[in-house]
Structure 1
Amino acid sequence: MTLTRPRRSVFHGFVFPLLFCIAATAAAQNNKLAIPPSGVIGFDQAMLVPDYWIARAPSPDKVLMSRQQIDDLNARTFAADPAMHDLAKVGPALSREQVLLWLKDAAEPLTKPLVDAAGNAIPKAAMEAIEANIGADRIPATTPTRYGLSVRRAQLRTYPTSLQAFPSKDLLDFESFQGGTLFPGDPVVVAHASADGQWLLVLSEQAPAWVARADIAEGAAAEVFAYAGKQPFRVVTGDKVRTVFTPEAPEVSELQLDMGVRVPLARLAEGEPVNGQGSYVSWTVDLPVRREDGSLAFKAALLQKIKDTSPEYLPLTKANIIRQGFKFLGERYGWGHLYNARDCSGFTGEVYRSMGIILPPNSGAQGRSPALQQRVFSASDSHQARVEAVLAAQVGDLVVVPGHVLMILGQVNGEPYVMQDVPYAVFRDPAGKVRMTKLNQVSVTPLLPLLADEQHLYVDAMTSLVHVVAR
């Protein structure tokens, strides 16, 4: 099998030419917005709290979609969106042809050399070793379908390797083999094992990818799929929370749970000690763990009641969209969820996931999902038409440009503002000079002044404006 390069569709972020990636933020369409010492045009310290924006949102506490409407939307997403995979519909057996197709979908042929984290060229021998580890010649004609649950926040890889590779020494924020993330309790179909036995090719709800074998516990289909439906449960509504430290059960000790993760409560008697600790000030949650033989089991862990969780998904309101977005403010940008963080589409996806809405896993898919209502733009749309559409956008709408997605936050003096997880702020200063400010984090910026490259505004590069909440 030819060694491959990750398909951009697997990633949670930037897609198009690299200039788009680097130039994806704030700019200056005109000179009426001030440039403060922060280097971010139109920014004011008062903008850094959610209440500032909630006060500007019309009917901020109005529930925009009922739980049934959200469930129906999620069902349409899995039924109609090619970027999503309904694992329950995978057949009882996998053919060699199907597994090879998933291998191909996970990555595409390498066309450029890569460097390591020190900026040194990765030797050809290392690439050949990765290629050999794929083990495509070991795939049988047919194999029974296997299932599993992720037991921790696990990296999805486009190759069976932990080797980090980058396009160049100047682009160390964009790891070439990173393909996304699984969260604790995420289901997968297990399709194939690497030659060294340390990696599994899995199909997640996002895409086919490789994951470390140690991160997956395998179990029967009924057991795997039942986990997501267990009740009662808690939903993580903070940016990330951790279970209580416990030396008695290291596999569930300080386990990170990211925003939107849903964990069932364990059925233990009230007040019963858990892992050497009293449980009355904590929720006792039931988490998947991996036995020594790789099989699936479940273990109770404590999640402090003071932590940011909810007994249900949050109501879908403009106020909650804003509050949830601000919980990530200042978090470092993480391509494909690297650096224990997330990228642009990971940010938008997890904000909505805390309210029960499942978005496709990358910016391009979010911008063209057939399950979502959207205004699509082409070269025939004028600048004025695009500006009018943006000015009419509501809190939580998604602005999609090639390789990037931004979320509408509100308006200040008629200027639309967005939240976005992005590397740079690029704009023209009052003298007309292009200026680039390093952000590399979840940020608040104006939208209309944004430059997608040195000549084109974001609004003129916009491919779609997505209304997650149907109009």
Structure 2
Amino acid sequence: MEKHFNSTIPEITHEMLNPEFWIRHSETSSRIIGCYDKIESFNNKSISTNHIKDIFDFKIQYAKNEVVDLILSISGPIKKEMYRNGLKLNEEDIKKLQTNLAIDKIPYNPVVKYGIITYRTVVKSYPTDDKFFDNKEEYVIDRLMESAINICEPVLVFHESYDKEWYFIESYNCKGWVRKKYLAIGNKNDIEEYTKSEDFLIVTGRRIYTNYNPIDKRTSLIPIDMGVKLRLVERNCIPNEVDDMDVLASYVIYLPVRNEKNGKLEFVKTLIPICADVKVGFLHYTEENIIKQSFKFLGERYGWGGDFFSRDCSSLVLDVLKTMGVYIPRNTSNQSDENLGIVKKMNGLKVYQKKNFLDWLHPGSILYMKGHVMIYLGKYNEEYYIIHDTIGFYLSCICKTKTGDLKYIKANGVTLTPMSIAYTTSGQNYIDALIASKIFI
């Protein structure tokens, strides 16, 4: 394999692309960072401090102005200097978007419904598939992207768009507009029971798929991302076969599907192959597992807000931690809040002090710069390494110093980076740019 390897980044070797390299050389520990009770306590505290939400504790009766304010907090003013399909937005374009919000259609006392996502989709700040960019050449950062949301995610449904193709929803860590066809409306108790079941599979692979199903297309080749919980069918309810397939070599789960006639939720027995990268129950919350899980994304293309059927820097960290039962906010700024988790603030420290701190820091710790999050891998041959999902960064042409021109690395994906020679777009060295390290517990 090494003969096919080409490193565009100095001090990255082929063997470093294997998580076992870092587990061996960085003294990564298999000790438990937090047991189940401690993780549950962390999650409950995150809810109580409003870092994440328990949607099942929400009220379902709202005043009209409350729903209007909620929608407008996401569907804010659009700048005319944005571009769509290479063309500058005009007043008519913006008016159509605002009309589709259907603000005037919100009833005086709207009743919120419960739903569950039935197919991975994006969450937009406006109900449209169009992508809006800051200039004609941009194609990565769609300014209407809020997040991506996975199958099995419970949501509150507040409102329907004017064209009746979109719902405005809120999940535990994001809100915005999702395509109606990827969501099923259901009973709160049924959805809560499914979501909080203690008998579940956790998807530990980057992405798995259900088997091809010629009997029920609703469950055929469904993509399921890392961190998704799939409720297992109770042992006494497991049939001998599902859709003409023997269950011996499969897990039998309940998969949420949407009844296309009425949009209602159904739970359908579905098979997950025993060979799939899944686990019964959560992974142990260890440094070793954080690194192993993060490397499953290595080489995946960058997707701003979850676009491109992919992830960005904060959702990579989020999905890794979900496999261990740790739930954190969606965006980097909220994740880095000093009141969340065990935080070491690094603002004001000199570079040598930050290096001294990195010498002490455990691999698997989460590192933050302004607007960016990374997973620390450790120190090797006097260099500090991270794995992160990034559009790109600059490298010093002469290692360890900023002598000469900086070379831009158009990463556009999950990659490894030596911190001493990496620079931000503003020309600041990665180590100097660190503002905090964190353990979510």
* TM-score interval, normalised by the smaller of the two chains: over 0.9
**Which moves more between the two structures, 56-65 or 316-325?**
56-65
Match of 1:287 in 2: 255
The answer on 1:447 being equivalent to 2:419 is: yes
Cα separation, partners in 2 of 1:383 and 1:231, compared to 1, 3 Å: closer
CA contact (8 A) 2:333 2:371 kept: yes
**C-alpha distance in 2 between matches for 1:337 and 1:388:** 35
**Which moves more between the two structures, 60-69 or 302-311?**
60-69
AA partner of residue 444 (structure 1) = L
The answer on 1:325 being equivalent to 2:297 is: no
Post-superposition shift, 1:237?
A: 0.6
TM-score under structure 1 length normalisation: 0.87
The answer on 1:413 being equivalent to 2:381 is: yes
Post-superposition shift, 1:468?
A: 2.5
**Which moves more between the two structures, 269-278 or 99-108?**
269-278
Post-superposition shift, 1:349?
A: 0.8
AA partner of residue 422 (structure 2) = L
**C-alpha distance in 1 between matches for 2:184 and 2:414:** 33
**C-alpha distance in 2 between matches for 1:414 and 1:100:** 55
Q: Secondary structure of 1:439's match?
A: coil
Post-superposition shift, 1:446?
A: 1.1
Unaligned stretches of 5+ residues in structure 2? none
Post-superposition shift, 1:38?
A: 2.8
**C-alpha distance in 1 between matches for 2:438 and 2:108:** 42
**C-alpha distance in 2 between matches for 1:337 and 1:276:** 35
The number of residues matched between the two structures is 431
CA contact (8 A) 2:131 2:142 kept: yes
Q: Secondary structure of 2:135's match?
A: coil
Summarize deviations over 1:121-157 as a string: whole Å, max 9, x none: 3444232211100011111221222111111112111
Q: Secondary structure of 2:83's match?
A: coil
Post-superposition shift, 1:316?
A: 1.3
CA contact (8 A) 1:81 1:370 kept: no
**C-alpha distance in 2 between matches for 1:194 and 1:101:** 15
Over the matched positions of the two proteins, sequence identity in percent amounts to 25
**Which moves more between the two structures, 147-156 or 427-436?**
427-436
**C-alpha distance in 2 between matches for 1:112 and 1:396:** 42
CA contact (8 A) 1:77 1:370 kept: no
**C-alpha distance in 1 between matches for 2:359 and 2:405:** 26
Match of 1:458 in 2: 430
Post-superposition shift, 1:37?
A: 6.0
**C-alpha distance in 2 between matches for 1:345 and 1:454:** 20
Match of 2:9 in 1: 40
Post-superposition shift, 1:391?
A: 2.8
For residue 195 of structure 1, the aligned residue among 141, 149, 162 is 162
Post-superposition shift, 1:242?
A: 0.5
Q: Secondary structure of 2:56's match?
A: helix
Cα separation, partners in 2 of 1:97 and 1:385, compared to 1, 3 Å: farther
For residue 66 of structure 1, the aligned residue among 35, 38, 42 is 35
**Which moves more between the two structures, 368-377 or 297-306?**
368-377
Q: Secondary structure of 2:25's match?
A: coil
AA partner of residue 337 (structure 1) = G
Post-superposition shift, 1:95?
A: 1.4
The answer on 1:240 being equivalent to 2:216 is: no
CA contact (8 A) 1:364 1:400 kept: no
AA partner of residue 338 (structure 1) = D
CA contact (8 A) 1:447 1:458 kept: yes
Unaligned stretches of 5+ residues in structure 1? 1-35
**C-alpha distance in 2 between matches for 1:263 and 1:293:** 24
Post-superposition shift, 1:271?
A: 5.3
CA contact (8 A) 2:80 2:88 kept: no
**C-alpha distance in 2 between matches for 1:42 and 1:119:** 39
Post-superposition shift, 1:254?
A: 0.9
The answer on 1:102 being equivalent to 2:70 is: yes
Match of 1:158 in 2: 125
Q: Secondary structure of 2:288's match?
A: helix
The answer on 1:132 being equivalent to 2:99 is: yes
Post-superposition shift, 1:369?
A: 5.3
Cα separation, partners in 2 of 1:350 and 1:234, compared to 1, 3 Å: same
CA contact (8 A) 1:360 1:369 kept: no
The answer to which structure, 1 or 2, has the higher relative contact order (CA under 8 A, 6+ apart) is 1
Match of 1:352 in 2: 321
CA contact (8 A) 1:231 1:265 kept: no
AA partner of residue 160 (structure 2) = A
The answer on 1:274 being equivalent to 2:246 is: no
Post-superposition shift, 1:195?
A: 0.9
AA partner of residue 230 (structure 1) = S
**C-alpha distance in 2 between matches for 1:219 and 1:37:** 51
Q: Secondary structure of 1:453's match?
A: coil
**C-alpha distance in 2 between matches for 1:428 and 1:339:** 30
CA contact (8 A) 2:393 2:425 kept: no
The answer on 1:438 being equivalent to 2:405 is: no
Cα separation, partners in 2 of 1:99 and 1:234, compared to 1, 3 Å: same
AA partner of residue 413 (structure 2) = Q
Summarize deviations over 1:79-103 as a string: whole Å, max 9, x none: 1144x22212211301112211211
**C-alpha distance in 1 between matches for 2:245 and 2:6:** 49
CA contact (8 A) 2:397 2:404 kept: yes
Q: Secondary structure of 1:459's match?
A: helix
**C-alpha distance in 1 between matches for 2:410 and 2:233:** 45
Match of 2:49 in 1: 80
Match of 2:114 in 1: 147
**C-alpha distance in 2 between matches for 1:196 and 1:454:** 43
Match of 1:10 in 2: none
The answer on 1:376 being equivalent to 2:345 is: yes
Summarize deviations over 1:207-228 as a string: whole Å, max 9, x none: 2201111111111211121111
Q: Secondary structure of 2:422's match?
A: coil
CA contact (8 A) 2:421 2:429 kept: yes
Cα separation, partners in 2 of 1:232 and 1:454, compared to 1, 3 Å: closer
**C-alpha distance in 2 between matches for 1:318 and 1:375:** 17
Summarize deviations over 1:303-332 as a string: whole Å, max 9, x none: 100111001111112221111111110000
The answer on 1:55 being equivalent to 2:27 is: no
Q: Secondary structure of 2:412's match?
A: strand
